[in-house]
Amino acid sequence: MSSPSRSGCRRRRELLAAVLLAAALSACQREDRRFRTWPPAASAIPAVRQSELQPGPTTRDLTVRNEYGDNAWAVSEGKRLYNQFNCSGCHFQGGGGIGPPLMDSQWIYGSQPENIFATIVEGRPNGMPSFRGKLGNDQVWKLVAYVRSMSGLLAKDVASGRNDDMQVRSQEQSTEKARPVQSAVPPASQRP
Amino acid sequence: MTGFRIVANVTELPTTTFGHRSPMWWGTIGFIVIEGSTLFICAISYFYLRRNFLNWPPEGVFRPALTVATVQAALMVLSNIPMAMVDRAARRLDLRAVRVGMVVCTLLALVMCVLRALEFEALNVRWDSNAYGTVAWAVLTAHATLLLLETLESLVFTALLFSPNLEQRDLAGASDNALYWYFLTLVWIPLYAIVFLSPYVM
Amino acid sequence: MSLTVPAVPHEPGRAPESAAEVVGRLEDTWRARPGLRGWLSSVDHKSIGKRYIITAFVFFLLGGIEAAVMRAQLARPENGLIGPDAYNQIFTMHGTTMMFLFAVPVMDAVGLYLVPLMIGGRNVAFPRLNAYGYWVYLFGGAFLYVMFFLNTGPDTGWFSYVPLAGPEFSPGKRVDVWAQTVTFTEISALVASVELIVTIFKTRAPGMTLNRMPLYVWSMLVQSFMVLFAMPWVASASMFLAMDRLVGTHFFNPAEGGDALLWQHLFWFFGHPEVYIIFVPALGFVSSIVATFTRRPVFGYPAMVLSMVATGFLAFGLWVHHMFVTGIPQLGASFFTAASMMIAIPSGVQIFCWIATIWSGRPRFAVPFLFVLGFVALFLIGGFTGVMIASVPFDTQVHDTFFIVAHFHYVLIGGAVFPLFGAFYYWFPKVTGRMLDERLGRWNFWLFFIGMNVTFFPMHELGLLGMPRRVYTYLPETGWGGLNLLASIGAVTIAVSVVVFLVNVARSLRVGEAAGANPWGADTLEWAATSPPRPYNFAFTPVVESREPMWQHPAELPAVEGLRTDVREVLVTTLLDAEPDSRHRHPEPTIWPLIAAIATAVLFITLIFTPWGAVIGTVLLFLAFVGWAWPRGKDHQEQLMIEAES
Amino acid sequence: MAKTSLVVGFVALTVACSGGHESRATPPAARVTTSAAAPAGALGTAARAASLAPDSGSAQWIIPAKNYASTRYSGLGQITAANVSRLGLAWTFSTGVSRGHEAAPLVVGSTMYVVTPFPNILYALDLSKPGAPLKWEYQPNPSTASQGVACCDVVNRGAVYYDGKIIYNTLDANTVAVDARTGKQVWRTRVGDINRGESVTMAPLVVKGKVLVGNSGGEFGIRGWLTALDAGTGKLAWRAYTTGPDTDVLIGPRFKPFYPLDQGKDLGVSSWPGDAWQYGGGGVWGWISYDPELNLIYYGTSNPGPWNPDVRPGDNKWTAGVFARDPDTGEAVWAYQWNPHDVYDHDGINELLLLDLPINGATRKVLVAPERNGYVYVLDRATGEVLSADPFGYITTSRGVDLKSGRPIMVPEKAPRTGQVVREICPAAPGVKDWQPSSWSPRTGLLYIPHQNLCQDEEGTEANYIAGTPYVAAIVKMYAGPGGYRGEMTAWDPVARKIVWNVHERFPVWSGTVVTEGDVVFYGTMDGWFKALDARSGKELWRFKTGSGIIGQPVTYLGPDGKQYVAVLAGVGGWAGAVVAGGLDTRDSSAALGFVNAMKDLPAATTKGGTLYVFALP
Amino acid sequence: MSAVLQAVLQFPGAHSALKPAGPQARIAEGLWNSMYATAIVVFLLVMAALLWAAFRRRRAEEPAPDPARERRMRRVVAAAVGITTIVLFTFLVSDISAGRAVTATPGKDAIQIIVTGHQWWWEVQYRDSVPQRWVTTANEIHVPVGRQVAVELRSTDVIHSFWPPNLTGKRDLIPGNENSLWFQADSAGVYRAECAEYCGHEHAKMALLVVAQSPDSFARWLTQQRDTAHTPADSLTSRGQEVFLSSACAMCHSIAGTPAGSRVGPDLTHLAGRATIAAGTLPNTRGNLAGWIVDPQRIKPGARMPPNQLDPADLRALLAYLETLR
């Protein structure tokens, strides 16, 4: 018979081991640089739910896990693409301008990776262009990861530091998480 | 094994020595050199980065406010008086005077820490605003770290002075602490001039 | 020459102790504590030194394995063994390991082991700090390797140039790991340097004036001063880099007024002296070995000392020659060219003095001496290429090519590792009490010497043919394949020679010939102690009357008595003339340095992930140092004095 | 003063007034004011607006600039400096749109026409009934996607009345003509392509039966043009590009620029690297003036794209300049660049006031332009010669204008470059003065310039042209200029070339101005105050707090009841107000091209809105 | 162009500091030769002295430190140090004078080129007083033989280093610090340059060709580079252009004369005229181009070019179109 204290001790040891293992794995995941592989849900994602309201009993959707959301290199690639493909031209460094802000908690078309993926690929009616066919899915997923990091939705050790550019906002890795709020109303002008 | 032939006896040598006779004094000098170098590097970086700007502080950044920093600088200089008294008292092995002096100095150090916090405010710039802000914060932070460590050390040492386990040679520590204090407070004067005054003239 | 110890008369009321009595009491007082906790609490410079040396040697092996992987990848063009990501991590690990975790620490380690013995002391001046330095070093190195195996190995080269190493171009924590590893090793090196300086200044045996100090001790003194003035630069720079990456400061952000060249200046102001920090102790090894194996003092003692000091000074005037292609003004470049050439003069002086010593001595060609001969040949080649690259027009051609790789491996392996291996063979009997095998030693030497040249000599040619360094592969059309293959074969040879060395050590530890106190008939004080030495080193503190005390008094050394034997006590002497000045309490073994080192590790490691790490770490560190500093138990003799005073 | 009266009288008999709508009696010819001291004798006698056609008299307001000379001067004198303090709200009208309202309401006969920002709804309000009820509304239903190519809020600067039609532009680059009586669409012409980044926000101008329309999108890599459509059918008459070969720019034998550096063949190509001129900006999104005597239209061209100048060495002709063209054929007669190789987004599209001013003793036909780069230019409008250029704000980017070469003397240290922050660029990108039009009173001889006091830090970044996406390649952070205030209202004497008075405002004065015969100047502020100042002293006489910040253009008209009214749209937005209109996040200093950094306190000062306010004396 | 290719591939000296083809490289080579010769002589002398000292025949009993002998040795050592100093001083003087010659400012009529380093390719621009005559190309510099070429060196990301060993030594491209150098090719040929400063993943595959040609053919080349791309003549190539413009290609690359104006990747207006693709990594052949477009990460892992999954027919058309971009 093992004494409770002993088993407690072992459990604690197991817990410690699990924590260490998790830390180790997260380090691997964070630092990985796979140049040729594609994230799992890369090619096709199913139709994305845009509304909270569902007819009939509520079902939980399987959300797509964007592996790039745990990968610092992919997030920084996303940041580079964000600036290169002129996302920054409308959304700037997250404060918005022509397009809505991306560093705040307001999400018009959803904050989940698949929502953002759909927004980039499909475009949105109030001025968001559709990048279908212009970007590889791989690039879009990197962008998705970066866009989520802008409002602190990624782990801080994954989000980017400052760029070698003008200081205009606190760096992504120092941005406190803004709990996503689904705002149904596009900020663009409303019809009367 | 080689044998030994006794030629002298050292029993009568003292066990408590002050100043350069004490190894700890040399150790303190060593750390002063290391930390002095670090501060020097921050200062060098300050002037090196200055070259990248047309104006200093750059346009759109206010100059640092002087009041708190000037009070701090004055306090640092003046604090050397009680500390020198501690130093001398220690060499006299005057425990009571050392205790009083160390209490005073520790309080002064705590005041300096508070002033230092206000000095960051007085810089009028964030560390991540631009390289000017960065390097001004760097100088201040580097010195603040030493100040904090010295404050903690003084606290512990003062506590030790009231401990029953106190030994005579610990009083040599008061002297070494004083040496470090002279360095810490006097090195601040040029740094103060760099961080707070030079933006008014460069 | 008369002894300058003040003539303290024997206490009239006390009979002089017999040597056996003293030894018995010292054995009791200085005994190491038992068990794991005792092992972790040790503050003996010899146990710390041994751990240091073994740890550094393990890192040497790891760095060597990395080198082997790189040579395997480069053995043929467009090799697919490893990709760029792994290669870049590996070459960075190799450089970082060899420079920060092997070369500097191993030199400090040997110094920390030998210096107190050579100057007739009982321990280093601050034994607990010494233990702390070792633990910090161990944690730093272990941390780097743990992170490397977690795919978080740094990948920006051992000098981590910004902006590549900055937050924009090196996402993740890889560079932070590098920066903090550097900080760890800087702390340990700085601690060791303060340690050694004070030890040398204040705890030399009575009579060992500066003018009588062994050349090796001089070399460690010069090296320690260099560390003291060089390391803060890289420590500051790496902290700047870490802050740029963590809290978004702009030290190196050219857009916001930071400067990429600031990094290079700060780094090379450390980085150039770094080479000499590694090389100067090697000069000490060589001088010790040459004297012993030619059976005469090294010729030109003052010239040797002055040239080491000059090297130490000049080393700080060369940093810009690493930056000749950054577009610095021509006039400035000329100054650094001149300084870089000037530093060849002291090296010339040393080499000529050794040749003169050998010429006028009676050489014995034991393995340590072979390594010295090999050193001269290799170091000459490295020195010549060093003079060449001091020339700006030529440097612009070979800078950052394999020519440079060849150059600094000749300097560092030839100039430091060969003497170090010589030193291993030379002092191994002192440390372990057993001799290393001479035959295996010769194999070791010749394989190393040949392998070294086969590996690195072709690299000169590769550099001139345009092969840049730090490339993970090259195209077949470049025609670099053959020479690279040759270099890789040479690398195998070196690997074999290191295996031979390991076999030799393993064999010797089990069945090696027992060594007496002074198997080589050497001249310096460490050979007066037993092999291996007792925890208190010497039963009585020896008194020195010449530069070669062991040759002067081979049978019986003059010594002083009167240090307490019931507590750990050491003799403090004056700086210049080493006159006995005071008795100094030596601390008991304690676990607190280890705890403080753990706190330090927590500080630096958490600081990679969050600025709050500074707060957490500082609190822990504070607690650890309170524990460290707080007196435990009292010594009545001392206590009484203070009560009487107050 | 007699001459002035004559001028005003002449106003009544103008080309466009023969519209067909009922024409009311012109108000009594301007009285010779005795109360106000005449500013300067010479000025009082010689200065006048070039030609006020198509001004249909003081009663109405049929084009946003009031008249072809763009003076925005109303001859109505019921509201005076003496009684304006009694001004009160007459009625309001909500547009239902909450973006930036920059338009000027039009008053034609007894109907008021209001154009909203995107979705560009046109409302007709019946002034003859109490409370001015809605007559009809017209919805052009512009493409919603066009919002994505509007750089600086989805604004519209107004419509124009011509020949029984209300003609205006929609954001998605369509020009529509609507029957003024019924609200039925008469014609609709697509003039640009949003997929190339083109949008249209400007108010058109109709000259000799041609609707002049220009495109916006200097931040989207468009190629700028001015297009003339037939006012009757909407068919394209001609199109003059800003960049490209002479045939595209409509440069022909009549083209005689004044300065040698502007002379040469195909400068619109050769002053650009490669085919950068294809997407080099130079839109025509501002104001057009017309001189019937010389038969020339004048308009400015916008900034070259991208903002980062490193990728477009050369003068980048004919961006950030001014063209004089024959309205019939579009042929260029002269051109001049305010900012050759503009590096600060200093568009040249501001209003060009055509005045006849006494210069060095002789009356000269001039064009007065308060420009973004901080100078009030006085050009000979027949030749394009710069007669004078004087700073009216704080400038660090240039040291004046070299009258010999016509080029500004730039300060090289302040030129933005790739990868480095250049600090304290003053004026900032919106310039000392942006689009918000000034007014000029023949009575005081003063120009009333609403403008801002902003500086900026800028860093050029890598430029990447992708059609339909922004092409700016700069990170900008604006902030208040010296003094800390961000807005100014300046009265400028174009003859004496100096500031006569000036008023500081907390926020940029982003609204237009109007000055009346009663010597009152009206303008609005971004925190929602509508203000009346004494035109001579600048003293504030009256203010009214509206529901949202004002960036619209005030107008004044005579109601069917014979009373003088003042109308303005309140609805914050535009580039300056994007932080509120777009709900932007002020933690990003670069948001909205860096304007957000200067407007971080605006959300606390005002909220979104869209309401027309009409004021009258009790 | 295959001649150029041939030259690159068949001529190993195309990349060597020891086969100088320009004045600076020649100076460096001269220094090398003299220093190398001196080093060999000195090395042999010192080693001979060492070996002699170690292995010389010794009398059975030599008195250990003999003062007279020590004095003699002191003189010998002093002399050796003196000679060392003289040799070093000679080096110093020749270095400094060589340094002067190398860094002399280029003449006024030098060709002005801007070379911008990107991770991991080179952007090359030829300046002209008329902006329209600027030429932008990538990974290949053409220069006329016998004329100075002044190069402005810039970087938009990290530090790179421009180094054509046959022509001149290297110079870093440092963000925030503008640098420049000049070189001159004395004989026609193709010279390879590598990035010499470690710049990240693909530092190994960041090369550049310097094509030195006769002034006439250079002038022809430059004129041709100013042309915009021709409108595709046949259906295959026009389909190819369509593929280019409608796919991800146009997001990063520009082709003058088409709406593709992106500058993130190399300008492709005259792609087919270049000898290599992927910054000197592969010969510019149809097969390599196809491989590069479809799976660039196999060729340059970590490069910025994304993989492109194109329909085979589209790929064929695209390749056909790209081949028309001469």
E13 to chain C: nearest residue by CA?
Answer: C465
- Decide which of E181, E197, E222 is a domain's last residue: E222
By Cβ distance, the residue of A103, A126, A190 closest to D587 is A103
E125 & E161 share domain: yes
Q: What's at C132, amino acid-wise?
A: Y
Mean pLDDT of A39-53: 64
pLDDT score, position A189: 44
pLDDT (0 to 100) of residue D44: 40
**Active-site residue, D339 included:** no
Q: Give D370-401 pLDDT, tens digit per residue.
A: 999 999 999 999 999 999 999 999 999 999 99
pLDDT digits (tens, 9 = 90+) for C574-606: 999 999 999 988 888 999 999 999 999 999 999
pLDDT value, residue E105: 82
Q: Are residues E40 and E158 in the same domain?
A: yes
The distance of Cα E213 from the centroid of its chain, to the nearest Å, equals: 17
Q: Does residue D234 register a pLDDT over 70?
A: yes
Last residue of a domain, one of E222, E246, E271: E222
Q: What is the DSSP string of E239-273?
A: HHHHHHHHSTHHHH-B-TTSS-B--SS---TTGGG
Compute the average pLDDT of residues C383-392.
92
Chain A: closest CA distance from residue E309 (Å): 9
Lowest mean pLDDT among A101-110, C609-618, E4-13, E295-304: E4-13
Contact map slice: A 53-112 vs D, CB within 8 A: 83-86, 89-90, 92-101, 103-104, 106
Has residue C191 got a pLDDT over 60? yes
Domains in chain B (CATH in brackets) are: 22-200 (1.20.120.80)
Interchain proximity C397–E171, CB inside 8 Å? no
Which band of pLDDT confidence, cut at 50, 70 and 90, is reported for residue D20? very low
> What span, in angstroms and rounded, lies between the C-alpha atoms of A155 and D251?
59
Cβ distance of C397 and E169 shorter than 8 Å: yes
What CATH number has the domain bearing residue D558? Answer: 2.140.10.10
- Name the minimum distance, in Å, from the CA of B113 to any CA of chain A: 26
- List all chains that touch chain B, counting a touch as 3 or more CB pairs closer than 8 Å: A, C, D
In a domain, E307, yes or no: yes
Helices C260-294 & B23-50 angle (0-180, nearest 10): 140
Mean pLDDT on E49-76? 83
Choose the closest CB to C363 out of E54, E84, E200. Answer: E54
The more confidently predicted of residues C611 and B165 is C611
C-alpha closest to that of E300 among E193, E214, E196, E202 = E202
Report the pLDDT value the prediction gives residue D21, as an integer from 0 to 100: 42
| B60 touches C: beta carbon within 8 Å | no
What pLDDT, in 10s, does the model give residues E7-20? Answer: 555 445 578 899 99
Q: Could you tell me the pLDDT band of residue D130, with boundaries at 50, 70 and 90?
A: very high
pLDDT digits (tens, 9 = 90+) for D489-527: 999 999 999 999 999 999 999 999 999 999 999 999 999
Residue B176, min C-alpha distance to chain C (Å) = 14
Same domain assignment for residues E260 and E286: yes
Q: Identify the active-site residue in D153, D198, D219, D351.
A: D219
In which domain, by residue range, is E286 found? 235-322
Per DSSP, helices labelled H in C14-103 are: 19-30, 35-41, 45-74, 84-96
**Using one digit for the tens of pLDDT, what is the confidence trace for D347-375?**
999 999 999 999 988 999 999 999 999 99
D574 in a structural domain: yes
Task: Confirm if E114 and E125 have CB atoms less than 8 A apart.
Answer: yes
**How far is it, in rounded angstroms, from Cα D413 to Cα D405?**
21
Give the model's pLDDT for residue C17: 62
- Let me know whether E47 and E159 are in one domain: yes
- Total residue length of chain A: 192
Residue C5 has pLDDT above 80, yes or no: no
CB within 8 Å: A31 and C172: yes
Count of domains for chain E: 2
Would you call C152 and A30 a contact, using CB atoms and an 8 Å cutoff?
Answer: yes
Quick one: E185 and E248 in the same domain?
A: no
- CB atoms A86 and D471 under 8 Å: yes
What pLDDT was estimated at residue D321?
96
Q: What is the residue range of D63's domain?
A: 2-138+156-348+412-616
Residues of B in contact with A171 (CB under 8 A): 128
The CATH number covering residue E192 comes to 2.60.40.420
- Burial label, E86 (beta-carbon count in 10 A; 0-12, 13-18, 19+): exposed
Say which residues have a Cβ less than 8 Å from residue E161's Cβ, sequence separation at least 6. Answer: C325, C399, C400, E170, E171, E172, E173, E195, E196, E197
ipTM score for this prediction = 0.93
- Could you tell me the two tokens for B184? 């810490």
Question: Residue B12 — very low, low, confident or very high, per pLDDT cuts 50/70/90?
Answer: confident
Question: Is residue D40 pLDDT above 70, yes or no?
Answer: no
pLDDT higher than threshold 70 for residue C639: no
| pLDDT attached to residue C304 | 95
Which of C:292-351 have CB within 8 Å of E? 295-297, 299-300, 303, 325-327, 330, 333-334, 337-338, 341-342, 344-345, 348-349, 351
The domains of chain A, with CATH numbers, are 68-192 (1.10.760.10)
Domain count within chain D: 1
pLDDT in tens, D176-201: 999 999 999 999 999 999 999 999 99
Q: Are residues E216 and E269 in the same domain?
A: no
Residue in D332, D150, D308 with CA at minimum distance from that of residue D246 = D332
Mean of pLDDT over chain D: 90
Of C626 and D124, the one with more pLDDT: D124
- For residues D247 and D533, what is the distance between their CA atoms, to the nearest angstrom? 48
**What is residue D28's predicted lDDT score, i.e. its pLDDT?**
33
Give the 3-state secondary structure of residue E301. coil
CA angle D2, D5, D7 (to 5 degrees): 115
Q: Which residues contact C134 (CB under 8 A, 6 or more apart)?
A: C48, C51, C52, C55, C188
Residue E324 phi/psi, 5-degree rounding, is -85, -10
**Exposure on the CB side of residue E298, measured as CA atoms within 13 A:** 11
Q: Is D137 a catalytic residue?
A: no
Whether the per-residue pLDDT at E25 is higher than 60: the answer is yes
With respect to residue E70, please indicate whether it lies within any of the assigned structural domains: no
Whether the upstream peptide bond of residue E307 has omega within 30° of 0, thus cis, is no
Q: Using CB atoms, which residue from E248, E250, E297 is nearest to A35? A: E297
For residue D541, tell me if it sits in a domain.
Answer: yes
With 0.90 as the threshold, say if the pTM is over it. yes
Give the containing element (helix H, strand E) for B100: helix B95-122
| D360 domain residue, yes or no | no
- A70 versus A10: the higher-pLDDT residue is A70
Task: Give pLDDT tens digits for C99-143.
Answer: 999 999 999 999 999 999 999 999 999 999 999 999 999 999 999
Backbone dihedral angles phi then psi of residue C569, each to the nearest 5 degrees: -140, 145
For residue C5, the one-letter residue type is V
Would residue D388 count as lying in a domain? no
Asked if E146 and E196 sit in the same domain, the reply is: yes
Q: Is residue E248 part of a domain?
A: yes
**Is residue D351 annotated as a catalytic residue, yes or no?**
no
User: Is position D134 within any domain?
Assistant: yes
CA separation, residue C59 to residues C98, C104, C155, C403, E270 (Å): 7, 12, 18, 25, 52
Q: What is the pLDDT of residues C472-523, one digit of tens each?
A: 999 998 889 999 999 999 999 999 999 999 999 999 999 999 998 999 999 9
In a domain, D298, yes or no: yes
Helices (H), chain E: 2-10, 23-55, 67-103, 215-226, 235-246, 249-252, 286-294, 296-299, 312-323
Q: What is the pLDDT of residue D569?
A: 97
CB–CB contacts below 8 A, A to B = 6
* High-pLDDT (> 90) share of chain B, %: 72
Could you tell me which of E141, E139, E118, E166 has the C-alpha nearest to residue E276? E139
Query: For residue E74, is it within any domain?
Result: no
User: Which of D308, D312, D422, D464 is the mutation pick for testing E, counting most E CBs within 10 A?
Assistant: D464
CA distance B50 to chain C (A): 8
Amino acid at C593: P
The pLDDT of D269-289, averaged and rounded, is 94
Which of residues D147 and A15 earns the better pLDDT score?
D147
Residues E301 and E215 both lie in one domain: no
The answer to the question of residue D16 being in a domain is yes
Give me the residue from C326, C345, C395 closest to E88, CB to CB.
Answer: C345
User: In whole angstroms, what separates CA C8 from the centre of its chain?
Assistant: 39
The answer to the question of residue E86 being in a domain is: no
Does some domain include residue D406? no
**Residue D519 — left, alpha, or beta (φ > 0 → left; ψ -120 to 50 → alpha)?**
left
- Give residue E2's pLDDT: 45
The DSSP 8-state label assigned to residue E177 in this structure reads B
Q: Give helix C301-314 / helix C344-360 axis angle, nearest 10°.
A: 160
Given pLDDT bands bounded at 50, 70 and 90, which one contains residue A39? low
Q: Is the pLDDT reported for residue C645 higher than 70?
A: no
Mean pLDDT of D515-542: 96
- What's the pLDDT score for residue D6? 40
Residue E160 lies in a domain: yes
Percent of chain D with pLDDT over 70: 91
Indicate whether E34 and E127 sit together in one domain.
Answer: yes
